[in-house]
Copies of this chain bind each other. A is one copy, B any other.
Amino acid sequence: MSTVPMIEYEDASSEVRAVYDDIREVRQTDFINNFWKCLANNPAQLRRTWEQIKAVMAPGALDPLTKEMIYVAVSAANACEYCIRSHTKAARAKGMTEEQYGELLAVIGLAHHTNGLVSSLQVEVDEVFKTPGD
């Protein structure tokens, strides 16, 4: 059970309903997941968070599936079960195959591995890695 009550559409203020409506419109589904129902206790934060997700996760220089996989990778590193599950689901909904998922997992595992080694070893950054932008 979350630390705040969840706000259902029926009980929501018009400010919250406007965000829920937009989520439904953009995602082409009636489903509002629990994350939004919790955030709705603070309507300004609900709106800010949704506006960001809408802007950042939209197709751009990176395709939506790649973005979902990056989201899963960060969430795995931060041990956020809800985010891992919801974005793994979203990645599959956007076409991630089980073979792609297997490779995503392999990269996540490997990156954690070398992060742990490098942290322990305090490896010095090579000069060539220090210059920005190229």
Contacts and interface: CB of A to CB of B under 8 A. Distances in A.
B61 A117 contact: no
Contacts of A14: none
Interface string A20-45: 00000000000101110011011011
Give the size range of A's interface with the partner: 35 or more
Contact of A80 (B53, B79, B105): B79
A116 B76 contact: yes
A3 B81 CA distance: 11
Interface of A: 1-5, 31, 33-35, 38-39, 41-42, 44-45, 48-49, 52-53, 55-57, 60-62, 66-67, 69-89, 92, 97-126, 128-134
